[in-house]
Amino acid sequence: MKERAIRKTVRGQRAVDGAGVHLVRVLGRDTIADFDPFLMLDSFDSTNPDDYTAGFPMHPHRGIETITYLIGGQIDHEDSLGNAGRIGPGQAQWMTAGSGIMHQEMPQPSKRMLGLQLWLNLPAAEKMADPQYFDIAGGMIGETEDENAAVRVISGEYGGTRGVQPRHLPASIYDVTVKPGRSVTIPTPADENVSVFLIEGDAVIGGQQIAEKTAVNFGAGDAVTVGAPADAEARFIFLSGRPLGEPVAWGGPIVMNTREELKHAFDELDAGTFVKHKPAPPTGGTPQ
């Protein structure tokens, strides 16, 4: 088994988005090629509700999937197609924007808001797929633990423990907590692009001390190993997916393949023809 070495590290930077939400922006336009198919990663970590309760009022998305995962806190969500709900600690929401959806996410006051939102690109052939919108809770997230680490499988499979199976790109997303002084080795498909994001605590990777709120992208290989310092846990989000290698045209909340497609999306937004499909009411369960 060939261990993957660190190829790139990106330390998150404080930013303000939405209606005034203070967050840590980690991945964005400058990291597309390295972290493909993951486009954006924003991390939330605050004990002050004033940092986030302004939220993200109604806004459009097209051409991507958004995955919101919370370790602490609550977020109410609602969309233009009549879906609404709340995600809480240990839960996730996976939204396929596809051909177009309007939605809002409004964090609620809590002792600590800790989590993230990922943007996962859609292949060119599936950019205009029907929108789908569902919550991931309860037994939908697989859990396993040994003497080294506890792993929550949001999507994909780890050592026989399964999470949800994505409809479009078969991306694997795990929430991994490594115990003090221990390490975990995660097997990885050779043809996938693999990264981790240190959401809470520092970690030791390839003999290097990597700081909290850093994303680490790996080179070629069959496995990654992440360790925790002797006196503290290291908690990270594991991300793996086959890179698309397609051109990206990114304008605000819309991600297409060409500037012409991007302009067309915004023209439709102006004309009121952006939202095209009404999905069936969400029923929960694994996406197919």
DSSP of the chain, one letter per residue? -PBPPEEEEEE-EEEEETTTEEEEEEESGGGHHHHTTEEEEEEEEES-GGGTTT-EEEEEEBSEEEEEEEEESEEEEEETTS-EEEE-TT-EEEEE-TT-EEEEEEEEP-S-EEEEEEEEE--GGGTTPPPEEEEE-GGGSEEEE-SSEEEEEEESEETTEE-B--SSS--EEEEEEEPTT-EEEEE--TTSEEEEEEEES-EEETTEEE-TTEEEEE-SSSEEEEE--TTS-EEEEEEEE-------EEETTEEESSHHHHHHHHHHHHHT------PPPP--S---
Pairwise CA distance, residues 134 & 263, whole Å: 29
CA of 141: how far to CAs of 12, 98, 110, in Å?
A: 26, 24, 23
Q: Are 221 and 5 in contact (CB under 8 A)?
A: yes
| pLDDT at residue 283 in the model | 43
pLDDT band, very low/low/confident/very high, at 83 (cuts 50, 70, 90): confident
pLDDT band, very low/low/confident/very high, at 277 (cuts 50, 70, 90): low
Per-residue tokens: 173:
């997303």
pLDDT band, very low/low/confident/very high, at 282 (cuts 50, 70, 90): very low
pLDDT digits (tens, 9 = 90+) for 137-173: 878 999 999 999 999 999 999 999 999 999 899 999 9
Per-residue tokens: 126:
């599936």
288 pLDDT exceeds 50?
Answer: no
Q: What percent of the chain has pLDDT over 70?
A: 96
| pLDDT at residue 229 in the model | 97
pLDDT digits (tens, 9 = 90+) for 180-211: 999 999 999 999 999 999 999 999 999 999 99
pTM for the predicted model, two decimal places? 0.94
Pairwise CA distance, residues 73 & 245, whole Å: 35
Tell me the average pLDDT across 256-280: 90
pLDDT band, very low/low/confident/very high, at 284 (cuts 50, 70, 90): very low
77 pLDDT exceeds 80?
Answer: yes
| pLDDT at residue 285 in the model | 43
| Weakest mean pLDDT among 38-42, 65-69, 79-83, 197-201 | 79-83
| pLDDT at residue 135 in the model | 86
Q: Say how many residues make up the chain.
A: 288
Tell me the average pLDDT across 238-242: 98
Q: Look over the chain and give the mean of its residue pLDDT values, rounded to a whole number.
A: 94
Q: Are 187 and 238 in contact (CB under 8 A)?
A: no
pLDDT band, very low/low/confident/very high, at 278 (cuts 50, 70, 90): low
